[in-house]
Amino acid sequence: MKNGLPPSPSKTTLSYKTRFGRLGQYGLLIAFLGICLTLSLITPRFFTVQNLMIIVTQVSINALLAFGVTFIIITGGIDLSIGSMVAVTGVAAASFAHPDTYPVVVPVVIGLLAGLLFGAFNGFVITRSHVPPFIVTLGTMTIGRGLALILSKGRPISNLSDSFNFIGGGKILGVPTLIVILIVAFIGCSVLLKKTVIGRYMYAVGGNEQAARASGIPIGKVKLVVYTLGGLLAALAGILLTSRITTGQPNAGQGFELDAIAAAIIGGTSTSGGTGTMTGTLLGALLIGVISNGLDLLNVTSYYQEVVMGAIIIGAVVLDSMNQTNKN
């Protein structure tokens, strides 16, 4: 200590932190490309257009949920109810999607509205009661699952119209509609997060809520917006899933919240808030899909796949913790 001041960081320390930051920024992309290359060498079936289309199609539902979770985690929150929202919104949409009843826009709007209201309810309770989001969304997760069973009377809702089934099972110029919707959603969420005032507010709230409040940022409104967005994206995922499997399943979406949170964390969204990108989340979802698909092609049982995914999630959290420590 000199003149009562702490010693400044050495050039070696600063260089290490810079290298570590760059590794965190590009490490996921390098890992993703490395795994793809490895799988393409091990099994020729992996690197085919048909298989790549299958991967992206399978990933699309999880990626949409992960986009919504990314908004929420960036602000320092969490949402465990999105899997239940998938079931509720899917059942609600399927109830109005029978042939020769309503135009296809009706079940879509009803499903989206249900998700929007569900997400807004989460945000309202969290901001008004100041109860931790983990507890609130744990409760609404159970509520949502019960509502899905009530609306469907405990039975799958089938006999859906062809126009509704096209939403999640059709193709546009040879490209599956799920992939088209995923691309549009990715662009929209990226622009919202990076190019708008509300996006900057999200980072500010997650980075330092007290400082954000002192700066005049409406904390409650920002949190209400992010949970509503999470509900809206969960509703879109629920509608697409229902359309794809051509049935409104009240038990749909079980465990989806964990996959979505995993994709966001693997993609670099910090569990402490204030950090995250939609590009990283998309890569995280694709990485999960690629590993799962590769293990399937190698005839690895699902039991081992769960172990692998759990290890990857722990590794991502550890790296995030190390990154946060080196920033301080």
pLDDT of residue 16: 45
- pLDDT band with cut points at 50, 70 and 90 for residue 200: very high
pLDDT of residue 328: 55
CA distance 30 to 309: 18
Is 159 a domain residue?
A: yes
- Pairing type for strands 175-176 and 171-172 reads antiparallel
CA distance 218 to 47: 48
Q: What CATH number did the domain enclosing 154 receive?
A: 1.10.3470
Is 255 a domain residue?
A: yes
Is 327 a domain residue?
A: no
Is 216 a domain residue?
A: yes
- 3-state class of 327 per DSSP? helix
Is 7 a domain residue?
A: no
Q: Does the pLDDT value for residue 22 go beyond 70?
A: no
Yes or no: say if 231 and 116 are a contact pair by the CB < 8 Å rule: yes
pTM, full prediction: 0.88
What number of residues does the chain have? 328
Range list of β-strands (E), the chain:
171-172, 175-176
Nearest to 252 by CA among 115, 83, 93: 83
| Alpha helices, H only, 80-132 | 82-94, 105-129
How many domains, the chain? Answer: 1
Is 25 a domain residue?
A: no
Q: pLDDT tens digit string along 227-279?
A: 999 999 999 999 999 999 999 999 999 989 989 999 999 888 988 888 899 99
Tokens of 229: 């967005």
Contacts for 181 with CB less than 8 Å, ≥ 6 apart:
60, 64, 236, 240
* DSSP classification of residue 175: E
Is 257 a domain residue?
A: yes
Domain housing 107: 45-317
Is 152 a domain residue?
A: yes
pLDDT of residue 9: 47
Q: pLDDT tens digit string along 271-312?
A: 888 889 999 999 999 999 998 898 888 888 877 878 887 887
Q: pLDDT tens digit string along 29-82?
A: 888 888 889 988 888 888 888 898 999 999 999 999 999 999 999 999 999 999
pLDDT of residue 150: 94
For 204, the enclosing helix (H) or strand (E) is: helix 197-207
